[in-house]
Amino acid sequence: DQQVKQNSPSLSVQEGRISILNCDYTNSMFDYFLWYKKYPAEGPTFLISISSIKDKNEDGRFTVFLNKSAKHLSLHIVPSQPGDSAVYFCAASPVNTNAGKSTFGDGTTLTVKP
């Protein structure tokens, strides 16, 4: 049973528009959530995180929203840029557990067209 699901394997948007990447989880013990970005032939890089005590966290063009009752989080990128084209992974970790032991989703490949 996959505990973290990214149901859209791919997403294509036009430059300047909003990109919305979604992630669902099933484990109610998860309380810390992270998004990573990965370019081909490179390791993932941390993008943004959110704790369950919040429902929104913003960092520049990137905003993560958390809906605990729906066990759903989303990453909004506004405006999208061609350099944002990458694979985005959602990850979740339980209460007081090292974030390195997070459970990862399968990723969504974002393509931003010029």
Partner 1 sequence: NAGVTQTPKFQVLKTGQSMTLQCAQDMNHNSMYWYRQDPGMGLRLIYYSASEGTTDKGEVPNGYNVSRLNKREFSLRLESAAPSQTSVYFCASSAPDWQETQYFGPGTRLLVL
Task: List residues near partner 1 by CB under 8 A.
Answer: 4, 9, 32, 41-46, 49, 51, 89, 91, 93, 96-101, 103-107
Residue 97: φ, ψ to 5° = -110, 140
Joined tokens for residue 8: 């859209």
Minimum CB separation of residue 71 from partner 1 in Å reads 17
Give residue for tokens 């049973």: 1
Nearest-angstrom CA–CA distance, 59 and 103: 23
Identify which of residues 63 and 93 has a Cβ nearer to partner 1 in the complex.
93
Q: How far is the CB of 65 from partner 1 (least distance, A)?
A: 19
In the structure encoding, which two tokens stand for residue 104, read together?
């990862």
C-beta of 5: minimal distance to partner 1 in Å? 10
CB proximity list for 60: less than 8 A, separation 6 or greater: none
Closer residue to partner 1 in complex, CB, 14/45: 45
